[in-house]
Structure 1
Amino acid sequence: MSDTPNASATPPPLSVAASLVGVEGLGAVGVAIGAISDVRSGQWATAASIAAFFALCAAGLFVAGWALWRRHGWARGPALITQLLMLGIAFGTGIPVAAAIVVAAVAVISVAGIVHPDSIRALSGEAD
């Protein structure tokens, strides 16, 4: 087994999960931009803090998505934890129902892709 796994051998369920984690990263970038663009008088520090937090979250999601795509086993934990947090956001924060359904669907599909037997084999190095 090489140090850098072959991305072309990434099983389809893991590819879907990795892609959706990347999409969540784009969503976090959107929230960061929204926080900056919705600054009210005297709220720069709060907006900058929120934007920085979500920018860091986006970076983490991009790294985790890339690592899943490249079949690095360490990425499974952060990706799964993120999906559990996304389910909490979907059902516990009062976001609009349509948005909650989309967020929950992305999280459930991502979890299914990450825990699929082919994905587990690929992330553990057994698929080589």
Structure 2
Amino acid sequence: MQSSRLVLGLTTTAFFILYGVGLGAVARGLSRASTWSRGPAVFSQLIQLLIAYSFWGGGTKAVAIVLALAAAGVLVGVFRKESTEALADNPQKDEPPVL
């Protein structure tokens, strides 16, 4: 029984380390306005909203509120007009207008 708990702890730790590295890559992509980073950013914030919901109730309401506000802030930032334009996959964006 102890070895199964150890394996569960190690695999959970490995998962969250990989998830953190992935979020770091997404954050770097967003800071460089890479078009691929918008989808994973939105997806991870939707997951965070679900995690916030799971913390609602009892003594963890404050945690739920902080998680939900952070996720909502990121989503608002990603869906702002400036962000949408910067992250748009528009190859003709830098071409001069055709007259």
Q: Normalising TM by the smaller chain, what interval?
A: 0.7 to 0.9
Of structures 1 and 2, the larger Rg is shown by 2
**How far apart, CA to CA, are the structure 2 residues paired with 1:118 and 1:65?**
17
Listed as ranges, the gaps of 5+ residues in structure 2 are 95-99
* Secondary structure of 1:45's aligned partner: helix
Say which of 110, 119, 124 aligns to 2:74: 110
User: Percent identity over the alignment?
Assistant: 32
Aligned pair partner of 1:71 in 9, 33, 51: 33
Q: Does 1:51 align with 2:13?
A: yes
| Offset at residue 94 of structure 1 (A) | 5.0
Match of 2:97 in 1: none
Note the C-alpha offset of 1:44: 1.3
Q: What is the root-mean-square deviation in Å for CA atoms of aligned residues?
A: 2.1
Whether the 8 Å CA contact 2:52–2:64 is kept in 1: the answer is yes
Instruction: Find 1:86's aligned residue among 45, 48, 59.
Output: 48
Kindly indicate whether structure 1 or structure 2 has the higher relative contact order, using CA contacts under 8 Å at least 6 residues apart: 1
Runs of at least 4 residues off by over 3 Å:
none
2:48/2:67 contact within 8 Å kept: yes
The 3-state SS of whatever aligns with 2:33 is coil
